[in-house]
C-alpha cells in the first residue's frame, strides 16, 4: 500500500475516535457539538507527556485518556440538569472555551534536547516526534491507530451488552421509562460523558503523535460537526456504525476531488438531506435488530432444522380474548 492510501487510513482511524465519542453520547440521547475539545485535551496532554521525555507513549496516551475522562466528567457535571439543546449549547460553549484557553496556554519547558518544548498558545505545539524518532513506519502507525480503535470498539460492544450499557440506550430512547424502571439517568449520563471524553482524548493523543504538530485551530467547530455527522450518518444501532460515517465522508472527499473546495458545502447539505431520509442513521436500531435476526436464522439453519426453528406458539396467545 502506498503512502497516500496509508495516510487516508490513518486519518479515517483518527476521525473514527471522534465519531465514536459523539456516538456514545448520541446513544444516551445527548447531541454534543464539542467532542473536539476532548480530542484537543488528549492531544495536548499526551504530547506534553512525550515531548518532555517524562512518559513513554502508552503512559502518555493513558494520561491523555485520563485527562479526557476528567474533562468529560466536568462537562457532565456542569450539564447534569440540562437536556436536549441546552446540553448541545453547553458542549459548544465548552469546546470553544477550551480552544480559546489553549490559544492562551503557553507552557514552554526545557525538553530533553535542551530546547524549549510544549504548547505555545496560538503558535501551536510542535516537535511531537517520539514515534518518528523511534523509526515507526507509516504502516506501523496505521496498525497502531486501527489496533487501538479495534480495542475500543470491542470494549464498547461489550459495554453495550452490560446493564449500564442497556440503561444508557434506554435513557436515549425514553428517559421517563428508564427512570421508572429504576435506571439513574444522572449517573449514567455522567458516565457516558466521561467515556466519550476518554475515547476522544485517546484519538487526540494518537493524532498529535501522527501529525507531530497541533494548534488550537485544529480543534475548531468544523471537526466537531464532522465527528457528530459520522455518528449521525453511521447510525445509532451499533458501535461500528460511526466508521461507516467516516467512510462516507472520506469516500465523498476522495471520490469528488473536483469538489474539494466545496467539500463543506456538499457535506453540510448531504448531512441535512440524509437526516430527512434516515433520522437515526444508516445502521439504526431497527436495521441492526433485523440484521441480527437474519444472522441468527442463518446460523440456526446451518446445522439443519433444530427445535429452535419449530418454537410452539406461546400459551398466552391462545388465551387472548378476541
Partner 1 sequence: MIAAAVAGLALGASYALLATGFTVVFGVLRRIDLAYGASIMLGLYAAIWLHREGMAGAPALAPVVIAVTVLAAAYVERLCFAPHADRPPVTAMAASFAIWMQLQEIAVLALPLHTYPFPSPFAGAWPAGALGGIRPEHVLALVAAAAIGLGLARLLGHTRFGLAVRATTENRAAAACAGIDTRRVAIAVFGLAAAIGGVAGYLIACIDGQVAPHFAMRATLDGIAAAILGGLGSIPGAIAGGLLLGLVEAAARSAWGPQQADLARYGLLLAVLAAAPGGLAGIAGAARRRLAARRRASGRRVGEASAAGEA
Bridge partners (DSSP) listed for residue 249: none
Does residue number 97 form part of the binding site for partner 1 (CB under 8 A)?
A: yes
Of 26 and 149, CB closest to partner 1: 26
Of 205 and 281, CB closest to partner 1: 281
Q: What is the dihedral of CA 153, 252, 10, 61, to 10 degrees?
A: -50
How many residues comprise the chain?
Answer: 322
Site string for partner 1, 12-41 (x = CB under 8 A): -----------------x-x-x--------
Whether residue 204 contacts residue 68, with contact meaning beta carbons closer than 8 Å, is answered with yes
Bridge partners (DSSP) listed for residue 109: 117
Q: What part of residues 221-280 is at the interface with partner 1 (CB under 8 A)?
A: 221-222, 225, 228-229, 232, 261-265, 267-269, 271-273, 275-276, 279
Of 82 and 240, CB closest to partner 1: 82
Figure out which of the listed residues 8, 70, 78, 105 binds partner 1, where binding follows CB under 8 A.
78
Figure out which of the listed residues 6, 8, 70, 90 binds partner 1, where binding follows CB under 8 A.
90
Site size toward partner 1 (CB under 8 A) is 43
Please state, in angstroms and rounded to a whole number, the distance separating the CA atoms of residues 25 and 168.
9
Nearest distance, CB of residue 321 and partner 1, angstroms: 34
Of 122 and 157, CB closest to partner 1: 122
Q: What part of residues 103-132 is at the interface with partner 1 (CB under 8 A)?
A: 103-104
Which of the ranges 50-58, 71-79, 133-141, 307-315 carries the binding residues for partner 1, by CB under 8 A? 71-79
Please state, in angstroms and rounded to a whole number, the distance separating the CA atoms of residues 48 and 127.
10
Query: Cα 123 from chain centroid?
Result: 27
Which of the ranges 59-67, 72-80, 197-205, 298-306 carries the binding residues for partner 1, by CB under 8 A? 72-80
Nearest distance, CB of residue 248 and partner 1, angstroms: 13
Nearest distance, CB of residue 102 and partner 1, angstroms: 11
Nearest distance, CB of residue 228 and partner 1, angstroms: 7
Figure out which of the listed residues 70, 82, 250, 282 binds partner 1, where binding follows CB under 8 A.
82
Whether residue 43 contacts residue 64, with contact meaning beta carbons closer than 8 Å, is answered with yes
Binding site for partner 1 (CB under 8 A): 29, 31, 33, 77-79, 81-82, 84-86, 88-90, 92-94, 96-97, 100-101, 103-104, 221-222, 225, 228-229, 232, 261-265, 267-269, 271-273, 275-276, 279
Amino acid at each position: 500500500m502506498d503512502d497516500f492510501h496509508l495516510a487516508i487510513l490513518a486519518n479515517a482511524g483518527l476521525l473514527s475516535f471522534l465519531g465514536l465519542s459523539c456516538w456514545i453520547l448520541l446513544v444516551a440521547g445527548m447531541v454534543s457539538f464539542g467532542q473536539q475539545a476532548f480530542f484537543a485535551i488528549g492531544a495536548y496532554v499526551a504530547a506534553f507527556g512525550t515531548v518532555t521525555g517524562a512518559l513513554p507513549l502508552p503512559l502518555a496516551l493513558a494520561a491523555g485518556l485520563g485527562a479526557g475522562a476528567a474533562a468529560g466528567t466536568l462537562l457532565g457535571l456542569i450539564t447534569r440538569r440540562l437536556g436536549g439543546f441546552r446540553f448541545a449549547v453547553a458542549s459548544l460553549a465548552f469546546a470553544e472555551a477550551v480552544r480559546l484557553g489553549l490559544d492562551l496556554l503557553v507552557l514552554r519547558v526545557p525538553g530533553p534536547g535542551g530546547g524549549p518544548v510544549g504548547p505555545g498558545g496560538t503558535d501551536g505545539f510542535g516537535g511531537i516526534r517520539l514515534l518518528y524518532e523511534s523509526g515507526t513506519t507509516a504502516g506501523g502507525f496505521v496498525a497502531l491507530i486501527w489496533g487501538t480503535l479495534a480495542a475500543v470498539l470491542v470494549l464498547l460492544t461489550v459495554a453495550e451488552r452490560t446493564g449500564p450499557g442497556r440503561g444508557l440506550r434506554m435513557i436515549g430512547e425514553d428517559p421517563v421509562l428508564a427512570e421508572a424502571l429504576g435506571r439513574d439517568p444522572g449517573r449514567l449520563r455522567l458516565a457516558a460523558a466521561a467515556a466519550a471524553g476518554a475515547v476522544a482524548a485517546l484519538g487526540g493523543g494518537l493524532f498529535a503523535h501522527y501529525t507531530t504538530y497541533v494548534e488550537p485551530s485544529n480543534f475548531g467547530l468544523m471537526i466537531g460537526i464532522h465527528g457528530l455527522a459520522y455518528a449521525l450518518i453511521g447510525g445509532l444501532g451499533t458501535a461500528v456504525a460511526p466508521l461507516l460515517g467516516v467512510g462516507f465522508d472520506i469516500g465523498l472527499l476522495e471520490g469528488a476531488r473536483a469538489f474539494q473546495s466545496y467539500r463543506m458545502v456538499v457535506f453540510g447539505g448531504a448531512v441535512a438531506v440524509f437526516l430527512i431520509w434516515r433520522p437515526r442513521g444508516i445502521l439504526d436500531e431497527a436495521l441492526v435488530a433485523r440484521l441480527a435476526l437474519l444472522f441468527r436464522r442463518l446460523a440456526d439453519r446451518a446445522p439443519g432444522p433444530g427445535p429452535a426453528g419449530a418454537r410452539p406458539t406461546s400459551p398466552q396467545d391462545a388465551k387472548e380474548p378476541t
